[in-house]
């Protein structure tokens, strides 16, 4: 089995097999560092790769391009984008499992990178994960999805500067193995994406430089040290505060609330009242999250709230931080 290693600079060597399986992890976008950009870099993202949900696909050589399973229309367009015109052959991709689309979990980036990596592997093309992101037109604002694919773990990127390239990875660390993430899913709602997302960013009010400085202070002196020392109280309180600041800034584009889904927000509040910490929304949502310090706490919280979740047509998923990137494996047909 071949695993992605290192941030961004993953190389693919040719294989003789005619089938490649890729499993790519979802990611949580936990907030931005600097939406002001006064010192020359904008955005800067905080993120975490999680073990569930994931995108699981197999790509094989074929007479013509085709796609089956989940997200087949989007997958077919990506196969056509990544396939080299010089090889003159088609590819069939079958998606067994897909990260929910427009849910704030990085589905588009993971699908694009997974298909691009599989095509590159079959064609023996020397493409890095960063190059795949550029070909797939991913990583415009955040490098979190790219790093989640390449190396997993807890990730911070340095935002966009003058270069026309994905943001550089500035910190990557293993996430505590014992901690669990409570994901709150709302299949009835969708987060902002595509042109609507670009318009929303363009129409946001100016973000105060003082708020950006405070977020960076929280990240460097509370969030990251709390994670490294497995102090979930410090980690969680810092993350909740960051989410409150960033969510408040985006509220004007989310109906006046920091939550895309009011139902997700209510359930997240109940999780916080029940002892969870680090509560917030991933990217534009609607997926919410909360952190607990172990499997037993996660199970208790799940069983105490799952009926309430179902009553609001929500689902709760218990996930873990994933400290490895995507797997790329040559398989038999």
- At 150-196, the pLDDT tens digits run 999 999 999 988 887 788 999 999 999 999 999 999 999 887 777 77
138 and 213, same domain (yes or no)? no
Tell me the pLDDT tens digit for each residue of 84-104: 765 668 999 999 999 999 999
3-class SS letters over the chain = CEECCCCCCCCCCCCCCCEEEEEEEEEEEEEEEECCCCCCCEEEEEEEEEEEEEEEEEEEEECCCEEEECCHHHHHHHHHHHCCCCCCCEEEEEEEECCCCCCCCCHHHHHHHHHHHHHHHHHCCCCCHHHHHHHCCCCCCCCHHHHHHHCCCEEEECCECCCCCCCCEEEEECCCCCCEEEEEECCCCCCCCHHHHHHHHHHCCCCCHHHHHHHHHHHHHHHHHHHHCCCHHHHHHHHHHHHHHHHHHHHHHCCCCCCCCHHHHHHHHHHHHCCCEEEEECCCCCCEEEEECCHHHHHHHHHHHHHHHHHCCCEEEEECECCCCCEEEECCC
Shared domain for 82 and 59, answered yes or no, is yes
Q: Which residue has the higher pLDDT, 212 or 128?
A: 212
pLDDT at 129 over 80: no
Does residue 128 register a pLDDT over 90? no
Same domain? 6 vs 141 = yes
Compute the average pLDDT of residues 213-232.
Answer: 98
**pLDDT at residue 308, rounded to an integer:** 96
Q: What is the mean pLDDT of residues 223-251?
A: 96
Mean pLDDT calculated for residue range 185-211: 84
- Same domain assignment for residues 159 and 184: no
- Tell me what pLDDT residue 224 has: 98
pLDDT greater than 50 at residue 310: yes
- The answer to whether residues 202 and 326 belong to one domain is no
Give the pLDDT score at 5. Answer: 37
Same domain, 131 and 13: yes
Q: Does residue 4 surpass a pLDDT of 80?
A: no
Judgement on whether residues 147 and 185 belong to the same structural domain of the protein = no
Q: Give the confidence band of 124 by pLDDT, cuts at 50, 70, 90.
A: confident
Mean pLDDT of the chain: 89
Q: Are residues 211 and 267 in the same domain?
A: yes
CATH number at residue 216: 3.30.70.890
pTM for this model (two decimals): 0.89
211 lies in the same domain as 78: no
- Are residues 31 and 162 both part of a single domain? yes
**pLDDT > 90? residue 320:** yes
Together in a domain, 167 and 189: no
For residues 84 and 160, state if they share a domain. yes
Owning domain of residue 38: 2-174+322-330
Domain count for the chain: 2
CATH classification at residue 27: 3.30.230.10
């Amino acid at each position: 089995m071949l695993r992605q290693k290192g941030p961004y600079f993953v190389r693919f060597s040719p294989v003789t097999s005619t089938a490649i399986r890729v499993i790519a992890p979802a990611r949580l976008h936990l907030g931005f560092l600097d939406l002001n950009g006064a010192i020359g870099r904008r955005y800067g993202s905080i993120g975490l790769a999680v073990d569930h949900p994931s995108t699981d696909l197999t790509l094989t050589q074929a007479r013509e391009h085709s796609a089956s399973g989940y997200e087949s229309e989007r997958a077919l367009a990506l196969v056509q984008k990544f396939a080299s015109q010089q090889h003159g052959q088609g590819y069939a991709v079958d998606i067994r499992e897909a990260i929910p689309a427009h849910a704030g979990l990085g589905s588009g980036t993971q699908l694009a990178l997974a298909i691009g990596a599989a095509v590159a592997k079959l064609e023996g093309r020397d493409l890095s994960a960063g190059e795949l992101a550029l070909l797939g037109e991913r990583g415009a604002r955040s490098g979190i999805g790219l790093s989640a694919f390449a190396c997993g773990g807890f990730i911070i990127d340095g935002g966009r500067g003058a270069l026309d390239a994905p943001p550089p990875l500035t910190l990557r660390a293993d996430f505590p193995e014992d901690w669990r993430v409570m994901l709150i899913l709302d299949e009835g709602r969708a987060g902002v994406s595509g042109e609507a997302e670009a318009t929303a960013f363009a129409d946001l009010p100016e973000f105060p430089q003082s708020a950006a400085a405070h977020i960076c202070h929280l990240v460097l002196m509370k969030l990251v040290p709390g994670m490294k020392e497995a102090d979930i109280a410090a980690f969680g309180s810092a993350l909740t505060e960051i989410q409150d600041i960033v969510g408040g800034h985006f509220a004007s584009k989310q109906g006046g609330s920091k939550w895309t889904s009011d139902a997700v927000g209510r359930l997240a509040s109940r999780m916080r009242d029940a002892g969870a910490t680090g509560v917030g929304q991933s990217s534009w949502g609607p997926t919410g999250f909360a952190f607990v310090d172990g499997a037993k706490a996660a199970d208790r919280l799940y069983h105490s709230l799952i009926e309430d979740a179902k009553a609001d047509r929500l689902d709760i998923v218990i996930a873990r931080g994933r400290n490895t990137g995507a797997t790329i494996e040559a398989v038999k047909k």
